[in-house]
């Protein structure tokens, strides 16, 4: 957890209250800061870009379901810096009104990804219930709060906020299910010695493009931690590579890496160099 923040620090996150995004905020910034729940990932970006909020927190990838495309698309257009990251272990709970038994459930509500992450448990324990997709786990908790025959899949924080009982814990199919969140800000971060850098690379649409990108990393011994591909939005069938690697833009070896990449790419956009999550 970062500790140099106070009650005047305002952090935007993907709401409503009780989501795993809020948990990421609390783990990274602590409880002293102020929070602003946003309806969409785009709104989180806009809140920080307009400087209405000092920082933003958005999900970027889940260990089970993969990349969050909306966040990646926003990063393509945004001028914000990634200033940090937070990895949250996703422990899904089944929540319902106090006094209601599991056998009384007729509907299970949750976000699409959460339902997918718990499909085996649901099939084994509640095979006959109706599954309802919501915009967020917290919205599912609100529905369960109003309907005794509906349970929500959400985190334990949502149970506290919405006054619900936890019928079952850790119902996710993968025990090591985690989501990585990015911390967004308007200023770059300094080198710490244990950093990660995120970049976007645009290439010319010709054979061998990916090989030419990866070759400098291999030759310099720079460790890649993630690579994803998304449509560039600049022209049809053109793509951009999202790449995370160990090191900081101020490191000598990273400067050499950029020098070599310039020779084999059309454009490089540095999204940020920031401390690696513990």
Q: For residue range 20-78, what is the model confidence (pLDDT) as tens digits?
A: 899 999 999 998 899 999 989 999 999 999 999 999 999 999 887 788 889 999 999 99
Where exactly are the structural domains of the chain? 10-90+177-185, 93-168, 196-273
**Confidence at residue 237, expressed as pLDDT on a 0 to 100 scale:** 66
**Domain 10-90+177-185 of CATH type 1.25.40.10:** no
CA distances from 124 to 118, 119, 128, 165, 167 (A): 10, 9, 10, 21, 15
Helix H segments across 30-136?
A: 41-49, 69-77, 112-117, 119-125
Question: Looking at the predicted structure, is the pLDDT value of residue 176 above 90?
Answer: no
Asked whether the beta carbons of 213 and 266 are under 8 A apart, the reply is no
**Confidence at residue 278, expressed as pLDDT on a 0 to 100 scale:** 78
Higher pLDDT, 264 or 114: 114
Residues 155-166, mean pLDDT to the nearest whole number: 95
Give domain 93-168's CATH architecture: 3-Layer(aba) Sandwich (3.40)
Q: Confidence class of residue 3 from pLDDT cuts 50, 70 and 90?
A: low
CATH number of the 196-273 domain: 3.30.70.260
Q: Which residues contact 200 (CB under 8 A, 6 or more apart)?
A: 75, 76, 240, 241, 242, 243, 267, 268, 269, 271
Asked whether the beta carbons of 189 and 80 are under 8 A apart, the reply is no
**Confidence at residue 183, expressed as pLDDT on a 0 to 100 scale:** 98
Q: Strand, coil or helix: what is 237?
A: coil
pLDDT digits (tens, 9 = 90+) for 36-48: 999 899 999 999 9
Q: pTM here? A: 0.86
Proportion of the chain above pLDDT 70, given as a percent: 98
Q: Do domains 10-90+177-185 and 93-168 have the same CATH topology?
A: yes
**Confidence at residue 255, expressed as pLDDT on a 0 to 100 scale:** 96
Query: Which structure tokens are listed for 229?
Result: 């591909």
CB neighbourhood size of 55 (10 A): 25
Task: State the average pLDDT for the chain.
Answer: 92
CA angle 179, 185, 186 (to 5 degrees): 155
d(CA 180, CA 24): 9
């Amino acid at each position: 957890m970062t500790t140099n923040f106070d009650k005047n620090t305002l952090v935007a996150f993907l709401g409503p209250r009780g989501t795993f995004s809020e948990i990421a905020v609390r783990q990274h910034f602590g409880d002293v800061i102020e929070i602003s729940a946003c309806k969409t990932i785009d709104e989180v970006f806009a809140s920080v870009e307009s400087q209405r909020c000092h920082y933003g927190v958005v999900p970027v990838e889940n260990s089970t379901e993969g990349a969050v495309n909306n966040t990646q698309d926003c990063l393509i257009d945004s001028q914000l810096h990634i200033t940090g990251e937070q990895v949250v272990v996703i422990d899904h709970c089944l929540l319902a009104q106090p006094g209601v038994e599991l056998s009384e459930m007729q509907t299970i509500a949750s976000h699409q990804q959460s339902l997918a992450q718990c499909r085996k448990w649901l099939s084994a324990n509640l095979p006959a219930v109706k599954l309802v997709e919501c915009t967020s786990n917290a919205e599912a908790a609100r529905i369960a709060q109003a309907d005794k025959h509906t349970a929500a899949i959400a985190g334990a924080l949502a149970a506290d906020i919405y006054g619900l009982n936890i019928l079952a814990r850790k119902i996710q199919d993968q025990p090591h299910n985690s989501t990585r969140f990015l911390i967004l800000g308007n200023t770059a971060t300094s080198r710490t010695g244990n950093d990660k850098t995120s970049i976007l690379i645009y290439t010319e649409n010709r054979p061998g493009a990916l090989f030419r990108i990866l070759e400098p990393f291999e030759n310099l011994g720079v460790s890649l931690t993630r690579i994803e591909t998304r449509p560039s939005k600049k022209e049809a069938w053109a793509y951009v590579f999202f790449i995370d690697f160990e090191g900081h833009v101020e490191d000598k070896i990273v400067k050499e890496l950029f020098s070599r990449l310039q020779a084999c790419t059309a454009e490089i956009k540095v999204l940020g160099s920031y401390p690696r999550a513990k």
